[in-house]
Structure 1
Amino acid sequence: MAMDQDPESVNRRIARLRKRASLTQQELADRTQLRGGYGYSRSHLAQVERGHKLATPAFVSSVAAALGIQVSDLYGQPYRDKLTDDGITTVVGALREALAYVDVPPELTAPRPLEELEAELGRVHTLLQQTRHTRLGALLPALVEETTVHALEAGSERAWRALHQAQVATIRLTRKLGFEDLAELAAERARFSATAAQDPHLAVMVTQRRTLVMMARAQWRPALAALTHAAQRVDQGRTDSSEILGAIYLRSAVLAARAGDSTAAEGYLAQAEEMDERAERLSHSRDTHATTFTRGNVAVHRAAVAVEVRDYDAALRRDAHVVGEVAATLIPERHAHHHIDMARALIEIGKPRIALQRLERAETIAPQLTMYHPQARLVTQHLVDAQRSLPEPLRRLASRMRVL
């Protein structure tokens, strides 16, 4: 279970939990070598613990797996002070209760008609893209409960599909807020509703989303194997096949990068580009399954993969393409995430001032995503620790994130 947020930085939390496990730095580093991927040396671990190096997502996942804990334990998630400020605390309990109904529907006086719920699910999709967590939290519990009533009482494929969409939205929201257990529960429910909806592509997309949980546990190779199997189940004759395969290849690229296989990562990116061209040529669906599979998203992933494999020169070249050519096509979620990735790269090459500017841009585009994003908070903390006196923009950002 994740700990309450405290002033402790991620690097100090890693050191404390390592010592609590009675491990030396060398012993913990050796354990990360067993996880696959890069593995990390004692020197690298020591530099992270002292705050001289960033704790990258791959590093945090490897260390969490080596310590037998969740990534959220190292990040200090859920960030309960922010959850309280944003009024989301009660939403989590409501979602947990809504997902508890499996065989018997909740006792609701009169659920809204299915058509009305479907329209609201469309609004939920837009809110997810805009990362408006507070508004999402106000809508989702009731949507899960009401679609559950329709699915269990009517049993139609249409009702099960609506329930599936509500459950997928729950996965996306709760994972971003740091509630890994609730995201996994929602994924289990979504797998069942996908089967009941009689749409094999829905089940494929559940697998694609569950690999995010596997990624957080440094299970890069098993996740890649799951995605390879999922890709083989895609019916390429359907109009949504390009979107699904494209999303699978983009996720595979990041997984391969986390595993340290830059060649495989570039290969997956090339396959994603082929799916993009195919979708464009055949006018195939681009967002039936809320993947936002677009040419801009492919470009963002190209930059992200370069950051993951520590090729910062390539990351900056690819960033120029994103900022100069495709930024206007990106949804807020992807656009802000890209700036956070680039802030990490800029820290690594010794450009803290520009890194701060990228974090500020991310916050302008998607405030709640940035406030809850572990890497955005980690980069901010790193900037704070590296400064003898804080410039006012950094002080304000750190105060909003509660990392001072």
Structure 2
Amino acid sequence: MEAGHKAATPAFIAAVSDALKVDMSELYGQLYRGDTPSTDRVHQAIPDLRRALAWSDPSPELEGPPRSLKVLASELENAKRLRRLARHVQLGASLPAVMEELSFHAHDADDPRVRRLLSDAFCAAGELSRRLGYSDLADSMFKEAARFAVLSRDPHLPLIITWRRALVLMNHGALTAAVRLLERCTTMIEEGRPGDVEVSGALYLRAAVLAGRLGNAGSAWDHFEQAAEISARAGRPHLDEYSTYFSPANILIHGAAVATELGDYDEAVRRDAAISLNALNSLARERRSHHLIDMSRVHMEQGRNKQALSRLLTAERVAPQMTRYHPFARTVATHLQDRHRVLSEDLRGLVARMRI
């Protein structure tokens, strides 16, 4: 790695993060900032998101009357759509006002429905913050989401907040703690309640990937098989009430992800080949792009640079903003750039758009 012949794997970065007690985002060089307002647009919403977080406890001072809960719920559904599309700029622009107006409603009435909407809004803000490298802000957002989740009277909602926070713990280098937390949450599922299949399945899938990054193959595949069995017993449904995309196709790409994290690249390629185009296209762009980025890592590790670049370019077409700001994608692009004296037009264009 030091000589530049191999790219640092996420597992290696996580180990260094834990040893040095620094956030993984620092080791990846985040934040990825632009030089002009146009190239830095993805970060412009961060100050407004911080303000919305500050107003979550005291009643916010609005410039006018808040919109109705029906309208705000519709706005939040649109925010979820933008998140599935990985449209970071548009998502960031839409969230702060919704968060502040929902906070106003929360101070005006003790309504579990408002708390559920607030939890969802803070979750969306936390996800965006984490993706852009603001781990501390993401953690604060998820803690606030957890507070509102408890008040929503949905026993599964706090578990989903933990499912999301586990990635922040990972960024802090606390992989073992993240896996244990997810495992504990799987014991708290209320079977027979709405959402039990989706939430339990999602928890096991995330635990599988993080255990894989730790190098615990037995634990990783055990968790993966648990998720697959939960889906099979329920009739292999497509579930997204909690924005987890729990479906047969999502399980398939998680299988490839587990193999990738374990460094079993032949198995990752085998599992990837078994995923049909229809299955891949059934996934949200966010998930599809992430899988393509994972597979670009696999091809890079196996020395198939042409295939690695092809997967990255496809990921960019599927979700441009996510790909250009994703640390793994940028790691692959940087490695490919370093390995070629003369860059192809495609690679030169990609690194230019990433501003590497």
**Contact 2:135/2:171 (CA < 8 Å) preserved in 1?**
no
CA distance in 2, matches of 1:58, 1:220: 10
Residue correspondence of structure 1 range 359-370 to structure 2 within 5 A: 359-370=312-323
CA distance in 1, matches of 2:160, 2:345: 44
Q: Which residue of 2 aligns with 1:135?
A: 90
Identity %: 43
**Contact 1:287/1:293 (CA < 8 Å) preserved in 2?**
yes
- Which of 86, 91, 97 is residue 45 of structure 2 equivalent to? 91
Does residue 8 of structure 2 align to residue 55 of structure 1?
yes
Does residue 294 of structure 2 align to residue 341 of structure 1?
yes
| Bigger mean CA offset, 55-64 vs 129-138 | 55-64
How does the TM-score come out when normalised to structure 2?
0.96
Q: Which amino acid aligns with 1:376?
A: A
Q: Which amino acid aligns with 1:152?
A: H
Q: Which runs of 5+ in 2 are unaligned?
A: none
CA distance in 2, matches of 1:82, 1:164: 34
- Cα deviation for residue 102 of structure 1 reads 3.7
CA distance in 2, matches of 1:117, 1:102: 16
Q: Which residue of 2 aligns with 1:297?
A: 250
Q: Which amino acid aligns with 1:205?
A: I
CA distance in 2, matches of 1:307, 1:82: 34
Q: Which amino acid aligns with 1:280?
A: G
CA distance in 2, matches of 1:323, 1:379: 24
Q: Which residue of 1 aligns with 2:59?
A: 105
Q: Which residue of 2 aligns with 1:162?
A: 117
**Contact 1:60/1:74 (CA < 8 Å) preserved in 2?**
yes
Alignment CA distance shift 1:82-1:315 (3 Å): farther
Q: Which amino acid aligns with 2:275?
A: V
CA distance in 2, matches of 1:353, 1:377: 16
Q: Which residue of 2 aligns with 1:224?
A: 179
Q: Summarize deviations over 1:2-49 as a string: whole Å, max 9, x none.
A: xxxxxxxxxxxxxxxxxxxxxxxxxxxxxxxxxxxxxxxxxxxxxx22
| Bigger mean CA offset, 384-393 vs 95-104 | 95-104
- Which of 208, 212, 232 is residue 163 of structure 2 equivalent to? 208
**Contact 1:279/1:286 (CA < 8 Å) preserved in 2?**
no
Q: Which runs of 5+ in 1 are unaligned?
A: 1-47
Q: Does the residue aligned with 1:80 lie in a helix, a strand or coil? A: coil
Residue correspondence of structure 1 range 369-388 to structure 2 within 5 A: 369-388=322-341
CA distance in 2, matches of 1:72, 1:215: 10
**Contact 1:83/1:89 (CA < 8 Å) preserved in 2?**
no
**Contact 2:23/2:173 (CA < 8 Å) preserved in 1?**
no
Q: Which residue of 2 aligns with 1:181?
A: 136
CA distance in 2, matches of 1:221, 1:72: 18
Does residue 216 of structure 2 align to residue 261 of structure 1?
yes
**Contact 1:62/1:217 (CA < 8 Å) preserved in 2?**
no
Q: Which amino acid aligns with 2:16?
A: V
CA distance in 1, matches of 2:247, 2:99: 28
Q: Which residue of 2 aligns with 1:327?
A: 280
Q: Which residue of 2 aligns with 1:43?
A: none
- Cα deviation for residue 80 of structure 1 reads 1.3
Q: Which residue of 2 aligns with 1:14?
A: none
Q: Does the residue aligned with 1:236 lie in a helix, a strand or coil? A: coil
CA distance in 1, matches of 2:122, 2:347: 37
CA distance in 1, matches of 2:234, 2:103: 33
Q: Which residue of 2 aligns with 1:22?
A: none
- Cα deviation for residue 279 of structure 1 reads 3.2
RMSD, aligned α-carbons: 1.5
CA distance in 2, matches of 1:177, 1:130: 15
| Bigger mean CA offset, 370-379 vs 212-221 | 212-221
- Cα deviation for residue 324 of structure 1 reads 4.3
- Cα deviation for residue 203 of structure 1 reads 0.8
Q: Does the residue aligned with 1:388 lie in a helix, a strand or coil? A: coil
